[in-house]
């Protein structure tokens, strides 16, 4: 591998850098291959190298020139991430366009992990969601591509990277102890979305990219924890101390809430007692005043209460039932009479018709001669006459009895109506008397209960004060315990300050390398976060300063890794960092820095992939540093060799 030409101006800024010499980066991509179909030759076969790797999509000059955007730089980065184990390689729309244009497409990579080759093949066409994903140590990517791809997953690669490179950090990640998720969290930091615009060291995945990285919904404190774990600037003792401190904080907050609720009750009780008995709750003698007045009021109500009230209520209730029974008896009889009289009237009306008819029949039967022939009636006719006379007699008797019964019932009805009115009056009077007695009893009981309640409140009042004191003691105890744990965590953090100080030193070196005109940089660590700080003079926009912080922080972490002080793999990827408003001079120094770092070891101990539309320094626009050149037109110059 040719030695890079050394920068001749800025190296003194990094005189204190002390990389470990080795056989190469712990993790790096040796080759990236894209197939439109596995049976066809690749449409891209990109060799990569340890050290600086540039993917350049030039912005052509002039009106007829082609834009550098749209060539596929970001897709290249997403495919790198995909081969390293992330579960997505683009937005839904982007993945659909690839599936429509090249439905049988696959991407493959040769990945070196601690000197061992891993081969990865993953579908990116129409079968990406359900296709075969393969990651296995050893073998040949080309042989594998020509054969049957086993139905495997990329989990073995993710787990191998996590267990080899970040064994301690992986066990303490915020989302759990999954090796797969632990590596994907680290990968999110190492391969930031271009859409994050390099605005914050904690911005790794932008929502609009629809990444499936487990980092996308993490809180900022959790992302700080990830960075500190990977930098070996966070120990388990500090994690445990902060967890205990948080537990004490929750208990203190609960004690404060309980205390406040009791205080609210105490204040309400004090206001009620003050309204009732007077006095000032703030004076020591007021409690004795309250309990004395409350006890006296309760005694007075006890004396006013009728001791026979329950017996009187029972007697009054019995009288109500008796009067109700008397009224019901009279009303039931009147109801019966009212129903019977119409029946008798109907019987009388029927007899009024039957009696005259029976009298006429009897009169006709009394003549012994036949009205037709004048002959005497036979004996059988005499029997008929007797029957008619008997019928007439019975009907007249029934009529008389019915008239007599009706007359008696009418007289009884007339006599019962005043009795019913009187019985109702007596019933209502008994009810009114019972109600009055009951109201008096209720009022007496309520007055006694109220007076007794005030006695209870006065006796309970000191208990509120005791409860408040207890909760206050608990609050102070938990608050003190929280402070002790946070102090302990701070002391442990101080032990890790050596790592942060070294990171800060490398960050300052990087800033002075990138901005040599009197710029200074440092990294500060506290309980709430990790913060890069830049002090400089010059005409830089706020966005450029923010971007400079992020790029320099990442590069400082890469330098710290090369010194063997982190659990990072020595791999980094920046997608079009100048899109974040970095000046051209600063931007070119990023490349110069990578060149200088390459020169510090016999074999580069890192892999830094950077994509750009801005031309890199002229000496780097060829191999081995520029590994791929793309363009938006013609279509054959795009990453996928076609329009999508």
- Sheet bearing 51-56, strands edge to edge: 571-575, 607-612, 51-56, 626-629
**Both 573 and 529 in a single domain?**
yes
Rounded Cα–Cα distance for residues 194 and 580 (Å): 9
Residue 455: the pLDDT is 76
Does residue 546 or residue 46 have the better pLDDT? 46
**Both 407 and 339 in a single domain?**
yes
254-257 long-range contacts (CB < 8 A, ≥24 apart) are 255/471, 255/472, 255/474, 255/475, 255/478, 256/471, 256/475
Whether 175 contacts 184, CB under 8 Å: no
**Both 315 and 183 in a single domain?**
no
SS3 of 475-496: HHHHHHHHHHHHHHHHHHHHHC
Assess if residue 251 is contained within a domain: no
Assess if residue 105 is contained within a domain: yes
Whether 196 contacts 203, CB under 8 Å: yes
Tell me which of 80-89, 116-125, 424-433, 538-547 is least confident. Answer: 538-547
| Span 203-258, pLDDT tens digits | 999 989 888 899 988 999 899 989 999 998 887 787 788 889 889 999 999 999 99
What pTM value is reported for the model?
Answer: 0.66
Assess if residue 341 is contained within a domain: yes
**Both 116 and 222 in a single domain?**
yes
**Both 413 and 519 in a single domain?**
no
356-359 long-range contacts (CB < 8 A, ≥24 apart) are 358/388, 358/391, 358/392, 358/395, 359/392
Tell me which of 26-35, 106-115, 443-452, 547-556 is least confident. Answer: 443-452
Question: Looking at the 3D structure of the chain, how many domains does it have?
Answer: 2
Rounded Cα–Cα distance for residues 273 and 270 (Å): 5
| Span 460-506, pLDDT tens digits | 778 888 899 999 999 999 999 999 998 888 887 776 778 889 999 99
Domain final residue pick, 464, 483, 507: 464
CATH number at residue 565: 3.40.50.300
Mean residue pLDDT across the chain: 86
| Span 600-636, pLDDT tens digits | 999 999 999 999 999 999 999 999 999 999 998 898 9
Assess if residue 126 is contained within a domain: yes
The residue segments making up the domain with residue 504 are 11-234+496-637
DSSP codes of every residue in 143-187 = HHHHSPPPS--SHHHHHHHHHHH-HHHHTT-TT-S-HHHHHHHHH
């Amino acid at each position: 591998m040719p030695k890079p030409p050394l920068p001749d101006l800025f190296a003194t800024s990094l005189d204190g850098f002390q990389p470990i010499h080795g056989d190469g980066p712990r993790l790096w991509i040796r080759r990236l291959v894209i197939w439109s179909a596995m049976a066809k030759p690749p449409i891209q076969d990109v060799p990569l190298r340890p050290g600086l790797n540039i993917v350049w999509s030039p912005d052509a000059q002039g009106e007829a020139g082609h834009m550098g955007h749209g060539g596929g730089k970001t897709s290249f980065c997403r495919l790198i991430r995909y081969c390293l184990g992330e579960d997505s390689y683009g937005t839904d729309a982007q993945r659909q366009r690839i599936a429509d244009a090249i439905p049988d497409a696959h991407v493959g990579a040769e990945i070196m992990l601690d000197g061992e080759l891993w081969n990865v093949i993953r579908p990116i066409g129409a079968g990406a969601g359900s296709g075969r994903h393969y990651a296995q140590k050893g073998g040949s990517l080309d042989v594998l591509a020509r054969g049957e791809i086993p139905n495997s997953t990329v989990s073995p690669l993710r787990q191998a990277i996590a267990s080899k490179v970040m064994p301690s950090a992986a066990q303490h990640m915020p989302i759990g102890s999954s090796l797969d998720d632990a590596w994907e969290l680290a990968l999110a930091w190492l391969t930031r979305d271009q859409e994050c615009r390099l605005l914050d060291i904690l911005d790794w995945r932008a929502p609009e990219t629809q990444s499936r990285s487990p980092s996308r919904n993490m809180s900022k404190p959790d992302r700080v924890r990830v960075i500190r774990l990977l930098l070996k600037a966070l120990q388990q003792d500090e994690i445990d101390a902060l967890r205990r401190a948080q537990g004490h904080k929750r208990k203190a907050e609960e004690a404060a809430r309980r205390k406040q609720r009791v205080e609210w009750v105490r204040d309400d009780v004090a206001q009620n007692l003050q309204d009732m008995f007077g006095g000032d709750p703030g004076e020591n003698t007021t409690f004795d005043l309250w309990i004395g007045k409350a006890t006296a009021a309760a005694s007075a109500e006890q004396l006013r209460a009728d001791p026979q009230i329950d017996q009187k209520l029972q007697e009054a209730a019995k009288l109500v039932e008796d009067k109700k029974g008397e009224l019901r008896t009279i009303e039931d009889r009147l109801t019966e009479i009212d129903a019977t009289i119409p029946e008798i009237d109907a019987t009388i009306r029927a007899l009024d018709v039957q009696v005259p008819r029976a009298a006429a029949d009897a009169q006709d039967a009394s003549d012994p001669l036949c009205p037709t022939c004048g002959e005497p009636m036979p004996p059988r006719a005499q029997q008929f006459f007797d029957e008619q006379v008997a019928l007439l007699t019975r009907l007249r008797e029934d009529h008389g009895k019915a008239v007599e019964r009706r007359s008696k019932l009418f007289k009884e009805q007339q006599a019962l109506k005043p009795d019913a009115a009187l019985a109702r009056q007596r019933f209502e009077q008994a009810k009114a008397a019972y109600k009055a007695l009951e109201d008096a009893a209720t009022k007496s009981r309520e007055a006694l209960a109220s007076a007794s309640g005030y006695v209870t409140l006065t006796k309970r009042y000191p208990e509120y004060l005791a409860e408040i004191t207890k909760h206050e003691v608990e609050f102070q105890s938990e608050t003190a315990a929280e402070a002790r744990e946070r102090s302990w965590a701070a002391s442990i953090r101080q032990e890790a300050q050596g790592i942060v100080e070294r990171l800060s030193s490398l960050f300052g070196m990087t800033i002075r390398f990138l901005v040599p005109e009197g710029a200074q940089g440092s990294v500060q660590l506290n309980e709430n976060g990790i913060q890069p700080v830049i002090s400089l003079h010059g005409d830089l926009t706020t966005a450029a300063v923010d971007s400079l912080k992020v790029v320099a922080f990442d590069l400082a972490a890469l330098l710290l890794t090369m010194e063997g002080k982190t659990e990072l793999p020595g791999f980094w990827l920046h997608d079009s960092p100048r899109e974040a408003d970095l000046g051209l001079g600063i931007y070119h120094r990023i490349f110069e820095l990578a060149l200088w770092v390459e020169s510090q070891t016999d074999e580069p101990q890192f892999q830094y992939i950077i994509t750009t539309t801005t031309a890199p320094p002229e000496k780097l626009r060829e191999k081995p540093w520029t590994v791929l050149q793309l363009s938006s037109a013609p279509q054959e110059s795009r990453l996928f060799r076609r329009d999508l």
